[in-house]
Chain A
Amino acid sequence: MHTSIPATVQGEAQENPALLHHFATEQQQKDAASLGMWIFLVTEIMFFGGMFCAYLVYRYWYFGDFAAASSSIDLSLGTINTAVLICSSLTVAMAVRCAQIAKQKAIVVYLILTILLGLAFLGIKGIEYYQKFEEHHVPGQASFHLDGHIPRHPDVPVNQRHAQIYFSLYFAMTGMHALHMIIGVGLFSYLTYKAWKGVYGPGYYTPLENGGLYWHFVDIVWIYLFPLLYLIDRHP
């Protein structure tokens, strides 16, 4: 006879609180969770991939206009954001490490730091978007205008329609990225709560690890977005 384990999502009381009922061993559960997270990240690569594909096509066709548009976005803010995200990946990795060596309080500290850095990123992004709005660089608006000319061709003004395509992709790609950051912050809030409750330790830190994978992925997407959007044809 098997023990009566409820089949609905509400009850999960069993011998080992961490082992879910349909797995035979904890190792199987851990392996399944890891594989699941990696596959999910593959789907995310394909998801962002569509936009990267569109970006690559238009950058090839409209290079001059893209370069001009790229120079108009704030490089210092973008660089700061890149640093912020890289630091946040470090804090995530530290949190996982602390779980592995049973430093309960430190897990919470690092997770909170990660969330703060994520919020900082979103805040800076908000400032950037506001700047674009002020400068009339929001595509699809009648007031859109990108001043300037194609690099190395002072007599050729920027093609406004091509510049709008750049900004459409800029907002779509960074917007989608920011959405993933927001989801990440929410996810990490939940993980922080659980960590504070003492759920994670050397025997069980799979959610931290998988949450960390997600965060690292979002970071890597930014690492690609930054040079592609901010650094087109920039010279020292």
Chain B
Amino acid sequence: MASNVDALFVFLLVVSAMMSLLIFTMVIFFAVRYRRQPGRRAQQIDGSHALEITWSVIPFCVFIVFFIWGALIYFKERTPPADSTEVYTVAKQWMWKFEHMEGQREINELHVPAGRNVKMIMTSQDAIHSFFVPAFRIKQDVLPGRYTVAWFQATKPGTYHLFCAEYCGTMHSGMVGDVVVMEPKDYQAWMGGGGSQPLALTGEKLFSELGCVTCHRTDTQGRGPNLVGVFGKPVLLEDGRKITADENYIRESILQPAAKIVNGFKPIMPTFQGQISDEQLNALVAYVKSLGQQPSGPAKDVAAASPQP
């Protein structure tokens, strides 16, 4: 993908250079060729509709090429593939905290396998930050209060700069780190050396400790919707809207449950705002996402659990 961005950049560069050269040459040429000479007067030319139209339409067509090419790249950048390895990120003044699904935690250093899609699910604890890896040509602002997402696939093993690219206070320039891209087998080895608890398992424990499991049961008796298989599927709300259950929806449901009530259920879920940290929230989201996603075999049936009579 990075090479795609570079290709577009080079194209822009070439066209711009040609355009600049054209203008510079014409200005200099006219300045010299038509410098004041005794006996010659300037020739008044009012204008030319034909020229105005030509040099409006042709540049515009070139601009549209820039637009379309850029839009195609952007569309890909904003659509993470479904099979991505996920890493939860919490940015704060002035460091990056990463949490892999397998439970490894890193600060300012991110290990990823080469050749695999990696999806960053990011939020901030304070001000707005921005996740910027120049080598991958990606950048995404990281906002407090919600998740933003970026994804990449690193092709070459190596160590690459990670910068915060949105001014966030005193040590904004110190909020830098490295993305360490490893060969898949080296990455497996690095993973295995952790001994930490997978993120989804942490989430499962929390789900039980916080009492979520009492209402969100897997049968039809729960006072809350059955969450198995809910992630990524459409959800019908009680006001008639249909939305897709993404990470932000799950996050919002935990922090502001009254915002979107599932059709057929009562708005009785308490809010957990202020009671859990961002890391715990990530774990819960990871757990809910994992429900019904089985490594083999079809996913369990869809979330439209029958309502409580």
Contact = CB atoms under 8 A, between A and B. Distances in A.
B258 interface: yes
A155 B268 contact: yes
A59 to B, nearest CB: 14
B266 interface: yes
Nearest to B239: A63
B256 interface: yes
A156 B256 CA distance: 11
Nearest to A157: B258
A150 B267 CA distance: 10
B145 to A, nearest CB: 11
Interface in B250-283: 256, 258, 266-268
B256 A155 contact: no
Nearest to B270: A157
Contact of A159 (B256, B266, B268): B256
A153 B266 CA distance: 9
Interface string B106-118: 0000000000000
A6 B256 CA distance: 68
A159 B266 CA distance: 17
A155 B268 CA distance: 6
Contacts of A118: none
Nearest to A158: B258
Q: In this complex, which of B256, B258, B266, B268 has the most chain A Cβ atoms within 10 angstroms of its Cβ? A: B258
A153 B256 contact: no
B271 to A, nearest CB: 8
Interface residues of A, number: 6
Contacts of B267: 150, 153, 155-156
A156 B269 CA distance: 9
Nearest to A161: B273
B298 to A, nearest CB: 36
Interface in A132-164: 150, 153, 155-156, 159
A184 interface: no
Contacts of B266: 155
Nearest to B266: A155
A201 interface: no
Contacts of B258: 64, 150, 153, 156, 159
A157 to B, nearest CB: 8
Nearest to A154: B267
Interface string B239-256: 000000000000000001
Contacts of A159: 256, 258
B265 to A, nearest CB: 11
A88 to B, nearest CB: 41
A150 B258 CA distance: 9
A153 B267 CA distance: 8
Nearest to B271: A159
Interface in B87-122: none
A155 B267 CA distance: 7
A156 B268 CA distance: 7
A155 B270 CA distance: 10
Contacts of A156: 258, 267
Interface string B191-203: 0000000000000
A156 B266 CA distance: 9
Contacts of B268: 155
A52 to B, nearest CB: 23
A71 to B, nearest CB: 17
Q: In this complex, which of B256, B266, B267, B268 has the most chain A Cβ atoms within 10 angstroms of its Cβ? A: B267
Contacts of A155: 266-268
Interface string A64-98: 10000000000000000000000000000000000
A80 B241 CA distance: 39
A64 B259 CA distance: 9
A159 B258 CA distance: 9
Contacts of B256: 159
Interface in B130-182: none
Nearest to B273: A161
Given A150-B267, A155-B268, A159-B256, 9 more contacts: A64-B258, A150-B258, A153-B258, A153-B267, A155-B266, A155-B267, A156-B258, A156-B267, A159-B258
12 contacts: A64-B258, A150-B258, A150-B267, A153-B258, A153-B267, A155-B266, A155-B267, A155-B268, A156-B258, A156-B267, A159-B256, A159-B258
Interface of A: 64, 150, 153, 155-156, 159
Q: Would you list the 6 A-B pairs with minimal beta carbon distance, nearest first? A: A156-B267, A156-B258, A153-B267, A155-B268, A155-B267, A155-B266
